[in-house]
Amino acid sequence: MSFVASTPASNHSKTNMQVTALSVVKQRIQVGVPLPFNVRNADKTLLLARGQTVGSQAQLDALFERGALVDMAELQTAAEQALQAPRDQLPRLWSQNMVRVGMALQDAPHEGFTGALDDAAKPVLSLIERDPDLAIFQVLRHEGGAQMAYGARRSVHTAITAYLVAQRLGWEASDMERVFKVALTSNISMLALQGQLSKQTTAPTREQLADLQSHPLRSVQMLALAGVKDPDWLGAVASHHEREDGSGYPSGCTDVSDIASLVRRADVYTSKLASRSQRDALAADQAGRQMFMEDPGHPMTAALVKEFGIYPPGCHVRLKNGALAIVVQRGPTVATPIVACLTNERGVPLPAPVRIETNSASHGVAAIVAERSVNVSITADKLMALVAR
């Protein structure tokens, strides 16, 4: 174990820091496991950085004896931070936790996978609960960037969608969390293949089609090897492409659980919103219309389209006065979202986006604008900040 030298950055706001003895939280420390928080000297200077490891029990005991401290703010779990952080920190927390979930998925299977996935999923669930509009924004804007592979990002988008719809349908909390994890892991055996197909300009090969057909059962095998024992979780993964009329795959069964049924619909919907090399992403209103046409009258589909609405957060719209805007919040009705104008009526970019309501005649929404037609550049961070106000 090596101690790090204190730096000005590591000692920032020491005078205001509320600390507790390391021994008070010793149950959260394991020898050989990365520290979940910084460890400090009695004068609050940095002793061990988060992520470093304590090599032996003797070294851990030595830290207790020297009166090592911990900043109490760092003892919050990631889920607690998501619930309590100031709103202007939500974009950063979304970005960080989306990447964490992606890494947990891409690392499977391995010992400790279920714990790692649980740790990564809980703060995302907290973020969804805290601000559903910002959650929908993730799905529409494809946040996660280069750090998050296409397949992992698609899984997270499907999971967010399934959770929101389950919530709208009034499911119990345990089933909402289960449908989130099923959606996250259903495609775990083909994350790399999804990335390949998203860039591929030719039709899938015979081998790729075979992998697509078998991926539900291969995902179950991977999850079982990784320590997942919940039969409802594994069963839903196995049947998440089955249909009640027997036309699904891989077995063509008709006994499909509600969780598997919802995950399939969320996957289909988010697939329509995702662009690939061979086609552009569908606009949200088109995706919703197609879902209704393909699955008329089903309550899950109806709830999904109602949850996202005609103009979900993250889509670009043209107002009736000619201004280009981006939806940042669902409004009092499905047709009157809250938007941030990016241009004026003549199409000239504004110095800074301006939030307005669209329930007046002049500021009403005329139509959704396809992503390829948007010629105003604004960074992902700024877009996220607009929604988090």
Q: Do both 232 and 343 map to the same domain?
A: no
Residues 42-53: tens digit of each pLDDT: 889 999 988 788
Q: Do both 168 and 261 map to the same domain?
A: yes
Q: Do both 119 and 230 map to the same domain?
A: yes
In angstroms, the Cα distances linking 135 to 2, 95, 277 are 41, 11, 25
The b/e string for 167-199 (b: 16+ C-beta within 10 A; e otherwise) is bebebeeebbbbbbbbbbbbbbbbbebbbebbe
Q: Do both 276 and 329 map to the same domain?
A: no
Residue 1 lies in a domain: no
Nearest to 125 by CA among 150, 101, 92: 101
Q: Do both 337 and 268 map to the same domain?
A: no
- pLDDT for the residue numbered 386: 77
The Cα 127–Cα 75 span in angstroms is: 18
| CATH number of the domain encompassing residue 278 | 1.10.3210.10
Inter-residue contact 53 to 60 (CB < 8 Å): no
- pLDDT for the residue numbered 75: 77
Q: Which of 25, 51, 75 is the last residue of a domain?
A: 75
Residue 69 lies in a domain: yes
Give ∠ CA 3-51-101 in degrees, rounded to 5: 170
- pLDDT for the residue numbered 277: 75
The Cα 81–Cα 310 span in angstroms is: 32
- pLDDT for the residue numbered 8: 40
Q: Do both 66 and 152 map to the same domain?
A: no
The Cα 258–Cα 275 span in angstroms is: 28
Q: Do both 210 and 270 map to the same domain?
A: yes
The Cα 162–Cα 259 span in angstroms is: 9
A 10 A CB-CB count for 94 gives 25
Q: Which of 27, 56, 75 is the last residue of a domain?
A: 75
| Residues of the chain falling short of pLDDT 50 | 5-12
Inter-residue contact 4 to 46 (CB < 8 Å): yes
Residue 375 lies in a domain: yes
What lies within 8 Å, CB to CB, of 168 at 6+ separation is 303, 306, 307
- In three-state form (DSSP H/G/I as H, E/B as E, the rest C), the secondary structure along 183-216 is HHHCCHHHHHHHHHHHHCCCCCCHHHHHHHHHHH
Handedness of CA 268, 270, 273, 276 (dihedral sign): negative
- pLDDT for the residue numbered 7: 41
Q: Do both 375 and 249 map to the same domain?
A: no
Token pair belonging to 375? 């010629």
Residue 240 lies in a domain: yes
Residue type, 314: G
The Cα 268–Cα 241 span in angstroms is: 10
Q: Do both 288 and 373 map to the same domain?
A: no
What lies within 8 Å, CB to CB, of 257 at 6+ separation is 232, 235, 236, 239
Residue type, 129: E
The Cα 288–Cα 96 span in angstroms is: 29
pTM of the model: 0.81
Residue type, 58: A
Q: Do both 298 and 165 map to the same domain?
A: yes
- In three-state form (DSSP H/G/I as H, E/B as E, the rest C), the secondary structure along 294-323 is HCCCCHHHHHHHHHHCCCCCCCEEEECCCC
Q: Do both 180 and 212 map to the same domain?
A: yes
DSSP structural state of residue 16:
G
Residue type, 36: P
Residue 60 lies in a domain: yes
The Cα 240–Cα 182 span in angstroms is: 9
Residue 4 lies in a domain: no
- How many residues are given for the chain? 389
Residue 245 lies in a domain: yes
Residues 352-372: tens digit of each pLDDT: 899 999 998 889 999 999 888
Q: Which of 263, 285, 308 is the last residue of a domain?
A: 308
The Cα 128–Cα 157 span in angstroms is: 12
Helix segments in 226-364, DSSP class H = 231-238, 258-273, 284-294, 299-308
Q: Do both 197 and 101 map to the same domain?
A: yes
Q: How many domains does the chain have?
A: 3
Residue 51 lies in a domain: yes
Residue 303's domain spans which residues?
Answer: 80-308
